[in-house]
Chains A and B, each alone.
Chain A
Amino acid sequence: MSTSPTLLEAARPGTPGRTTGDWAVEAHGLCKRFGDIVAVDKVDLFVPRGSAFGYLGPNGAGKTTLIRTLLGLTSADGGTMSLLGIPVPSERTRALARVGAIVDEPRFFGHLSGRDNLRMLAAARGCQAPTRIEPALDRVGLAQRADDKVRSYSLGMRQRLGVASCLLGDPELLILDEPMNGLDPAGMHEMRTMIDTLVGEGRTVMLSSHLLDEVERTCSAVAIVDHGRVVRQGPIAELVRGTGTASVRVECDDPSAGAVLLEQSAAVTGVTVEGPWLTVTLPTGSSREAVAEVNRVLAAGGISVYRLEETRASLEQWFLSVTSRLGEK
């Protein structure tokens, strides 16, 4: 499966208007192997600053390994990377001062309270981190339970404590690995709101997930990873529109006649009739002008059009189309 050269090119630093400092996360040819298994395979990744970026892939695709490599939790076997424009691992300490991260399920000392766990992490961060413990607890809604032992926390509370630990460094970049795992719908909504707020404050949130719907709701841009390789990346809207199959649903007074007319048009690749509706398939990469052409053809044939709506592939459909998982199914 090939990558999308257009989108990748648009994201590269060499592109006019883009420089290295624009990227919150930048990786070139990043590799990580575990014996014969290639977990991260020559990954080029560009996460724009000040946005919510989804790192999307099926289980076992290498999402967590890439995050661990970026954070210096494990060493890379090849490639270069930088966080907030600061090269890592050579200046890892300086880079991570501005980064908060949750990798896998957030785990803490169960025999300590949430506040004490944050004290430990704040002491490790140094500077003003200890003064941010209370605001962070307030922000994630754990202030009331902060003195309870973490072993009594639910998974959702531990996720929130994980986010609080990220906030101790007042980070510019947050890397959240599967932050929705284990959360109930209300918790997921809270997390989504929190991410929106963080992005609204100018922070960058890189969100790793296999939950397509959540990524679609939360993120503006996405990278799809499969078998350790980034197969697509860019703004979600552009990706879906650019690579999915576009179609138009038309409600009209005579669908059968409309179908005959449209099948003769070069702007259409297929037509199906479903009751009063026509589903018109357009060529891949069609512009909005193709939709107008459908309307013109029907009107010219004397068919009354009551409603015309563009349908696009969902992120899920697109995800399945660009990863190998559809074939496996």
Chain B
Amino acid sequence: MSQVTVAEPTSPGSALIGRRPGWSDPERGSFLPTWGLISTKLMELRKRRGLMIAVVFFTVGAPVLILGLRLLFHAVDPKAYGPAGSPDMFNTVSDLIGEFGFIVAATLGAAAGTTDLTEGMFRQLVITGRSRLALFFARIPAGMAILTPLVAVGFGLICLVTSYAGIAQPRTVNLNGTSVPVQLSEAQLETWLLLHPQQAVFVVDYTGPFPSAGGGAVAVGPPSVKSASSIATVRADVRHQIASIDADYASSEVIQANPAINEMVKAGLWLELVVAVGFIVGLGLGTLTGQRTVSTIVMIALQLIVTPILARNVIPYFINGQRLVVGVALDQLRPMSLGGGVVALGRGGGGSRHGLLAGSGGISIPPMPTWAMVSVIVGWFVVWTAVGAWKTVRRDA
């Protein structure tokens, strides 16, 4: 259809043509959301009181409550209640943020993806002529602007309590009854064990001959390592078994020693990643279905039922399918300070020894390479963002 510009002086409608600046604002057609779009969407989400109470409670309130009570109980009865900043408490409360943070993030995402539609504002927003993609993409920074600082505050409180109200940092870790210095790398641990065969024999599965206890009975427990041959056997065992020894060492270290600052940072980043995944998947699913309740229930079922079942049970011929579940990939990325990389595989399961990409958490299926974990997580981000964007563009308003 051709456009013919008419400047008809007698037509009152024509008098308006061209008098307003900004009619051809190029931003309006751009898929990139403006600051105004993001900030007003943030305002809309922030003013949902019930939702915000839930989000704040599970990211900040619950840690404050648990740690506060523990501080109080410990002050009243220190023998019965350990310090609030113990490694165990760090692990437990951080896990709480991870589990419930994912769910509230998904709920927030589902709300961000559906409320425009269910409350009739989507139509009004589309009528403004703003790009539908920009309307969708504005939801992502708006939602993350709520979640990211709250998780940071909640986890920061845990770190503060761990740092200032925790146990004294031990110099050694008890490994099968043997005291081993803390914070050794795998190579350092191997070196230390090779230099201390008398202690190492308690740590390895000893493969050498056991001295007779008389009457043909076999002695119980590790032998006394005195001969050159038995020392050589222990050292050979250390070299062969260092990976599994290192896993046990890391487990003991997590339980007995406070996490180092860099481990805390990794744990915090991992928690942010978990809530980001929860938000994006909830947003995409909510936008696709247009139904907030259904999306939220599906996300809760995914996190609390489907993922644990798939992570803890090996289904023959479907292992690669199990690995495609984002919760499984996230669990394998779990940092050591939160119990990752130490239960099934050892810390060297794909990344550096003290790295974030340290291998499997408490899951039973064989691990996947680091690139595969990252691919699965990135894939979930991309696919659910694309699904949400596509549906926003295609939906009848």
Contacts and interface: CB of A to CB of B under 8 A. Distances in A.
A303 to B, nearest CB: 47
B396 A74 contact: yes
B40 A125 contact: no
Interface in B179-205: none
Nearest to B24: A94
Contacts of B321: none
B129 A92 contact: yes
B3 interface: yes
Interface string B128-166: 111100010000000000000000000000000000000
B43 interface: yes
A169 B129 CA distance: 10
B77 interface: no
Given A112-B44, A127-B21, A203 B16 contact: yes
Nearest to B27: A126
Interface of A: 19-22, 24, 26, 28, 48-51, 68, 71-74, 80-82, 85-87, 92-101, 103-112, 116-117, 119-128, 130, 165, 169-170, 172, 199-204
Contacts of B5: 21, 85
Contacts of A96: 127-129
Contacts of B76: none
Contacts of B48: 111
Interface string B9-31: 00111111100111111011100
B215 interface: no
Contacts of B8: 22
Given A96-B127, A124-B135, A126-B130, 6 more contacts: A21-B3, A68-B397, A87-B3, A100-B127, A116-B43, A170-B20
Contacts, number: 168
B121 A107 contact: yes
Nearest to B30: A93
A286 to B, nearest CB: 31
Contact of B40 (A103, A123, A204): A123
B40 A20 contact: no
Q: Could you tell me the dominant secondary structure of chain B's interface residues?
A: loop
19 contacts: A28-B1, A71-B127, A72-B126, A74-B396, A94-B129, A96-B128, A97-B25, A99-B127, A105-B120, A106-B120, A107-B123, A108-B121, A109-B44, A120-B43, A127-B22, A127-B23, A199-B12, A200-B12, A201-B16
B47 A169 contact: no
A22 to B, nearest CB: 6
A297 B20 CA distance: 60
Contacts of B293: none
B36 interface: yes
Given A123-B40, A124-B130, A50 B28 contact: no
Contacts of A49: 11-14
A73 B130 CA distance: 12
Given A73-B127, A103-B123, A111 B47 contact: yes
Contacts of B13: 24, 48-51, 172, 202-204
B2 interface: yes
B123 to A, nearest CB: 6
B115 interface: yes
Contact of B37 (A19, A80, A123, A204): A123
B22 A50 contact: no
A97 B24 contact: yes
B80 interface: no
Given A110-B119, A202-B15, A202-B16, A121 B6 contact: no
